[in-house]
């Protein structure tokens, strides 16, 4: 099964509030964005967002230029329905981030919760190329993955676990680590998943 079909089937078969990565609010991500990006006209892209409520939280916080990208059109349709008329204020992209044709140097903030840990070594190199292409100089990157004590699989797929050093190292010296931390995510079934996150700033050249 290819990636698109896999994630389409996940969102067709499960309620979006019952998938393991569901959050009622994206508190950690929103806190970092609000702390480090004061410009409400900053362009923010949420990678692999699915039906995540981060877009709702960002709109509520007053951010005006938001893009949401996911490989599953079904996932995006759930978010669009939830937002009702507000969804017209968002740019929606149905794409595989490794193949997406993103505009050059266009984003102030790049956010990814739980996509990066699915990537192979080759895919990770391509992903970082996409970040470097699409992010503005001095742009900000927030990446969150399963930590060293996190699950070994998600939705039947193998993942790579990271600590903050190994996660930051995937992006290299061109990205300055500003903040890192851990997050215990309570899943809808009551189990706890261990996440780590890194917040980096792209060094201007």
Q: 3-state DSSP call for residue 159?
A: coil
Mean pLDDT of 102-127: 96
Please determine, for residue 155, whether its predicted confidence score (pLDDT) is greater than 90: no
Tokens representing 4 are: 């698109």
Which whole-number Å values give the CA distances from 112 to 84, 88, 142, 162, in the listed order?
A: 24, 22, 6, 14
Q: Which of 2-11, 134-143, 149-158 has the lowest mean pLDDT?
A: 2-11
Burial class of residue 152 in the structure, from the number of CB atoms within 10 Å of its CB (0-12 exposed, 13-18 middle, 19+ buried): exposed
Tokens representing 130 are: 């996409």
pLDDT in the model for residue 13: 80
Binned at pLDDT 50, 70 and 90, residue 205 comes out as low
* pTM given for the model: 0.94
Tokens representing 150 are: 């996190």
Mean pLDDT of 97-107: 97
Q: 3-state DSSP call for residue 98?
A: coil
Torsion angles phi and psi, residue 89, rounded to 5 = -85, 0
pLDDT in the model for residue 143: 97
Task: Determine the Cα–Cα distance for residues 172 and 21; give it in Å rounded to an integer.
Answer: 27
Mean pLDDT of 71-95: 94
Q: 3-state DSSP call for residue 178?
A: strand
pLDDT in the model for residue 19: 81
Binned at pLDDT 50, 70 and 90, residue 202 comes out as very high
44-81 residue pLDDT tens: 999 999 889 999 999 999 999 999 999 999 999 999 99
- CA torsion, points 142, 146, 147, 150, in degrees to nearest 10? 160
Mean pLDDT of 85-101: 96
Mean pLDDT of 153-173: 94
Binned at pLDDT 50, 70 and 90, residue 109 comes out as very high
Please determine, for residue 179, whether its predicted confidence score (pLDDT) is greater than 70: yes
Calculate what percentage of the chain has a pLDDT beyond 90. 80
Neighbours of 183 (CB within 10 A): 16
Task: Determine the Cα–Cα distance for residues 67 and 63; give it in Å rounded to an integer.
Answer: 11
pLDDT in the model for residue 1: 65
């Amino acid at each position: 099964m290819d990636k698109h079909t896999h994630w389409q089937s996940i969102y067709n078969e499960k309620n979006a509030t019952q998938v393991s990565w569901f959050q009622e609010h994206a508190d950690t991500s929103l806190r970092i964005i609000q702390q480090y990006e004061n410009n409400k006209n900053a362009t923010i892209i949420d990678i692999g967002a699915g039906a995540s409520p981060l877009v709702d939280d960002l709109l509520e916080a007053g951010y005006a230029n938001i893009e949401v990208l996911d490989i599953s059109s079904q996932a995006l349709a759930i978010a669009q329905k939830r937002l009702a008329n507000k969804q017209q204020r968002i740019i929606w992209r149905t794409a595989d981030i490794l193949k997406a044709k993103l505009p050059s140097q266009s984003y102030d903030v790049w956010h990814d919760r739980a996509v990066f840990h699915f990537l192979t070594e080759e895919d990770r190199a391509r992903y970082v190329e996409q970040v470097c292409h699409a992010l503005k100089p001095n742009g900000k990157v927030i990446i969150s993955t399963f930590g060293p004590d996190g699950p070994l699989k998600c939705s039947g797929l193998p993942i790579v676990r990271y600590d903050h050093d190994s996660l930051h190292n995937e992006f290299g010296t061109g990205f300055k680590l500003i903040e890192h931390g851990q997050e215990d995510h309570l899943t809808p079934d009551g189990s706890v998943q261990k996440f780590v996150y890194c917040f980096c700033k792209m060094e201007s050249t």
